[in-house]
Amino acid sequence: MKIKTLISTLIIASASTSMTSCSTSKSAFNDLQNFSTQIETRGQYYDAHDWKKAVKKFGKIRKNISKHEYTVAERTRIGKLEGKVVKDMAKGMKDGVTNHILGIASEIQGIMDELGFGK
């Protein structure tokens, strides 16, 4: 009787461990997908502090993904998604810097206009 209980316990523990590792790798991939969407939709509004946090978060997501095993097809999807994130991050950072420079230029123009230099 004890052997059957032990075997049953081992089978249940093994099954739950394999389900947990599967959901964890899926969770890591989902984190990457969600992050990609976040950068794509909100990146244009990020300031330097937001970008610093985003870069750290991306590093953590990549580190978490590297802890799991994926099929070749999954790795391909991950690689494409990571490439998209990097592209969107670069575009968002560039747009943010451009908007910041244009904002400063507008402020300077306003000061010059007020001082009578722009007329």
Name the residue among 38, 40, 36 with its Cα closest to residue 78.
36
Q: How far apart are CA 55 and CA 61, in angstroms?
A: 10
CB atoms within 10 A of CB 61: 20
pTM of the shown model: 0.64
Q: Structural domain boundaries of the chain?
A: 20-115
Least confident of 34-38, 53-57, 74-78, 107-111: 107-111
Please write the tens of the pLDDT for every residue from 42-97: 988 888 889 999 999 999 999 999 999 999 999 999 999 999 999 998 888 887 76
Q: How far apart are CA 44 and CA 53, in angstroms?
A: 15
Name the residue among 65, 55, 6, 80 with its Cα closest to residue 30.
65
